[in-house]
Amino acid sequence: MTPDFGILVLAAGQSSRFGSDKLMATMPDGKPLIAHSLAPLKAMAKRYQLNLCVVTRISNPALIAYLTEQDIAYTLCSDAHLGMGSSIAHGVLANPLWQGWMIALADMPNLSANIVEALITNIIQNPHQIVRPSIIKNEENIPLHPVYFPQFYKIKLSQLSGDDGAKSIIQQQKLITFNEHSLLADVDRIEDMQT
């Protein structure tokens, strides 16, 4: 069975805590951070024949050039400065025919293909539920990204704004638990690049 949702990658942040454009910052292997974040998502999109679209801002010509060079679909969010919620809303409205949206963050270079595949497997089994991975740390269930939203939430997703993303929507959710601490790491500061 081929799923009919798509992968929406949020790459429209201002990188204010990082001090410069973190997504194009060079990792120890010489590749930009976003290349690592996209690699497992692109691999699974190819394997499962899923659409993938990156949401970025107009004022990021280096990232736009990179996405164009790599032949990665993207959409430009003119109000990305209003927060992650606006980026999600724009991405959903730019891909309205998808039957669901797996929303991923562009600053998570430690995300693995195995985790993404496990998430896709659970989405296929639960196509009408919100599906989100999590880990157990100190006996606490910590939710992570990417997060899948079915078509049912299209209108609510398309009306989001502000910095809280889709937190207001996530209530009843199916949590998939992975014991993989590296998934907690996203990149906010330059020193995060080394870890």
Number of other residues whose CB lies within 10 A of the CB of residue 24 = 16
- Give the pairing of strands 147-150 and 140-143: unpaired
Looking at residue 14, its pLDDT comes to 64
**Residue type at position 50:** L
User: Where do the structural domains in the chain lie, given as residue ranges?
Assistant: 6-194
Topology annotation, domain 6-194:
Spore Coat Polysaccharide Biosynthesis Protein SpsA; Chain A (3.90.550)
Query: Within its chain, how far is the Cα of 27 from the centroid?
Result: 19
pLDDT tens digit sequence for 6-44: 999 999 976 445 444 789 988 888 999 999 999 999 999
Looking at residue 195, its pLDDT comes to 46
CA distances in angstroms from 46 to 10, 43, 51, listed in the order given = 19, 5, 8
Question: What proportion of the chain, given as a percentage, has pLDDT over 90?
Answer: 56
- Residue 4 structure tokens: 């009919």
Looking at residue 158, its pLDDT comes to 95
Whether residue 180 is predicted with pLDDT greater than 60 in this model: the reply is no
Q: What angle do CA 105, 100, 184 make, to 5 degrees?
A: 25
- Residue 119 structure tokens: 């998430």
pLDDT tens digit sequence for 99-148: 999 999 999 998 989 889 999 999 998 999 999 888 877 888 788 889 99
